[in-house]
Amino acid sequence: MSEAIIQVDDVSKSYGGVKANVDISLQVKRGSITGIIGPNGCGKTTLFNSIVGYHPIDKGSIKFEGKEISHLLVGDIARLGMLRTFQQTRIYSKMNCVDNMQISVSHRAESKSSMFVSRKGEIRERAEHLLEFAGLYSKRNLISGDLSFGQQKLLEFAMALMNEPKTLLLDEPTAGINPTLINGLIDRLRRANEELGITLCVIEHNMRVIMNLAEHIYCLSNGHMLANGKPEELQNDQRVIDAYLGGH
Amino acid sequence: MSMNKKTMFTYGGLALFGILGPMLFPQYTLSIAYLWMMVLMASTWDTLGGQMGYNSLGNITFFGVGMYVSAIVQISFFYDGGVGEYTSAMGSIKPEFTAAEYFWGLGLGILAAGIVGLALSLVFSSFMFGLRGPYFAIGSLGLAIAVAEVTITIDYVGGASGISMPLFPGDIEFRSTFFYILCFAFTIVSHFLLRWLYSTQFGLAANAIRDDEDKAEAMGIPTLAYKRIGWAIAAFFMGCIGAVAGNMAGFIDKEVAYPIPTFGIFMVAMALLGGKGTLWGPVLGAIIFHVVKEATWTYLLNLQWVALGLILIINIVYFQQGIMGWLKTKYPELFGIVVDTSNIADDDEKEVAR
Ligand SMILES: Nc1ncnc2c1ncn2[C@@H]1O[C@H](COP(=O)(O)OP(=O)(O)OP(=O)(O)O)[C@@H](O)[C@H]1O
Ligand SMILES: [Mg+2]
């Protein structure tokens, strides 16, 4: 359990003059749920983007399962089994939910012939099953762009599960989700972690959610790693309270 | 590939028209042949343009290249002097091909045209798919213009003065029927290939690329491979049909081979009119477009372009999703788009399905 599936060492990234990430190091243990918190604009999404290869980093090293990935492209990293969801929620908005799910199958072992497999059968069943898991079964034939924002968020999560990733990076999964549904979502995240064995790394502003969910939390501030530790440790860390929790 | 009654009825109607049309109205045989050709152009354009959102304005390149490749193969295969001598003699050499030579040459020419078209699309793919949106559209248009210009600098294929194609070994009626059958057959083959293709994961991947290519990348879909295949299929069929069209025309030059402002743009217009991103939209659009084009040419000679322009304007301003798209919003149930309102009923249905 102590093996790091993601190992980030001394990663920096700036946009022009903005130092979005400075010498960031963190570890995500295989099978764990790890949290990332910090004030708006502190560089959380930037860090995700660096990890999944969305942009080249300025310096540092990022390893996935022991393999250096900082020079790989987004698609290559996704096909290694590491996916991310987007803070702005991205789905294929003109396709219906089932189709969104079906095209989200894993492309890890993709050969030329799997590009032309029929959409019926096993893939379709799994798509419907996961839509049920996400609570979207009754919406399955709707055009996904017509779903509410929260429903789109759930769909994006279900799509990620359809891909059977080893690791899933979630950028604010509960943002915009109705408070009464949040407990259900926490439960689903846990089940994805426990039953499907997916390592989760979650950016979250909702303290109740992240303190409940994560075993280990990193707190960023102004592009720097401020502190990390167990939820109760961070809650009592004066630096974290000053930078972030104080306002809550 | 299961079909419902409506689809079977449509296919039946089209097949009847395709077979009986030229029999009942032999004077329109070539016109209907062009109709099928336009259906093929619009449908294969749509693979990349409608399904994937990469609006190519350069698919006509493969048509022209195919036409020239086929001419080279047909002539040099059975004429010892090769196409160079044939073209430099400016039509004064008219080698007599036997029927067997002609048909073998044509068959090989069409095949070579398709293969070279496909290969050319792979070359284009290696640098074009870095471009998106209007940049891809204009870039592909640039390719068509460039290839057309390069073609006329090559003396080997007759330069600007073109090539007279080998004479068809048969009377004029048989000639029309023969080329009609070729056009019809290629259109049928391409249609059913695309129909199958869109029913597989390929169709979904194409639409995913259209809706959000960055998301598709982030989900690990090998987007470049799909785009390459999409364009290659269009290029293959455009090459083949270009070879057929060159022989139908009997004489080829830059205008015949690279009709950028007409067919090059029509194929896009037809797909938009019928509804891009659907299997039937380009078919419907091509039929309507062609009928209007022929009818206005016959009855309103000077107003043909005005009428076609008007259709496009109405299409773009009022029916951006084309006829199929408009029908889909108006009558979603015809397209199997179910709006579920009751969760309980759903769960029951699921139980029954188990
Ligand atoms: N593409 C970009 N170009 C320029 N600057 C950027 C870009 N993306 C982010 N930044 C800047 O980098 C800093 C970190 O942004 P980032 O999106 O990583 O913050 P965040 O921690 O995810 O914030 P939030 O909680 O609001 O989502 C911000 O100052 C932002 O303005
Ligand atoms: Mg963010």
Q: What is the pLDDT of residue A246?
A: 64
Query: Where residue B354 falls among pLDDT bands split at 50, 70, 90?
Result: very low
Query: Can you give the residue range of the structural domain that contains B139?
Result: 5-320
Query: How far away, in angstroms, is A121 Cα from ligand 1 center?
Result: 42
pLDDT per residue over B219-233, tens digit each?
999 999 999 999 999
Q: Are A62 and A14 in contact (CB under 8 A)?
A: no
pLDDT per residue over A6-42, tens digit each?
999 999 999 998 999 999 999 999 999 999 999 999 9
What is the ipTM, given to two decimal places? 0.92
Structural domains of chain B, count: 1
Q: What is the pLDDT of residue A248?
A: 45
In whole angstroms, what is the distance from residue B172 CA to residue B178 CA? 10
Q: Is residue B327 part of a domain?
A: no
The one-letter amino acid at A182: I
Query: Where residue B353 falls among pLDDT bands split at 50, 70, 90?
Result: very low
pLDDT per residue over A167-215, tens digit each?
999 999 998 888 888 888 899 999 999 999 999 999 999 888 999 999 9
Residue ID of nearest Cα to ligand 1 atom 27: A40
Q: Is residue B333 part of a domain?
A: no
Query: How far away, in angstroms, is A15 Cα from ligand 1 center?
Result: 9
Q: Is the CB of residue B338 less than 8 Å away from at least one CB of chain A? A: yes
Query: Nearest-CA distance from A28 to chain B in Å?
Result: 20
Q: What is the pLDDT of residue B5?
A: 85
Mean pLDDT (whole number) for B100-126: 96
Task: Assign a CATH topology to domain A1-72+166-248.
Answer: Rossmann fold (3.40.50)
In whole angstroms, what is the distance from residue B113 CA to residue B237 CA? 9
CB contact under 8 A, B207 and A108: no
Residue B173's H or E segment, with its range, is helix B172-198
Query: Where residue B352 falls among pLDDT bands split at 50, 70, 90?
Result: very low
Mean pLDDT (whole number) for B106-113: 97
Q: Is residue B156 part of a domain?
A: yes
Q: Is residue B351 part of a domain?
A: no
Tokens read off for A3: 């093996």
Pocket test for ligand 1, best of A13, A46, A58 (most atoms within 8 A of CB): A46
Q: Is residue B221 part of a domain?
A: yes
Q: Is residue B349 part of a domain?
A: no
Q: What is the pLDDT of residue B182?
A: 97
> Scanning every residue of chain A, which has its alpha carbon at the shortest distance from the alpha carbon of B354?
A125
pLDDT at B113 over 90: yes
Q: Which ligand 1 atom sits nearest the alpha carbon of residue A87?
A: 27
Average pLDDT, chain A: 91
Q: Is residue B274 part of a domain?
A: yes
| Residue B126: partners with Cβ closer than 8 Å, 6 or more residues away | none
**CA atoms B237, B239, B242, B243: torsion sign:** negative
**Is the pTM value of this prediction over 0.95?**
no
In which residue ranges of chain A is CATH 3.40.50.300 found?
A: 1-72+166-248
Q: Are B194 and B43 in contact (CB under 8 A)?
A: yes
Q: Which residues of A fall below an 8 Å CB-CB distance to B? A: 52, 54, 73-75, 78-79, 83-84, 86, 90-96, 99, 102-108, 110, 112, 114-119, 123, 128, 132, 137-143, 159, 163
Residue ID of nearest Cα to ligand 1 atom 2: A15
Q: Is residue B206 part of a domain?
A: yes
Residue ID of nearest Cα to ligand 1 atom 11: A20
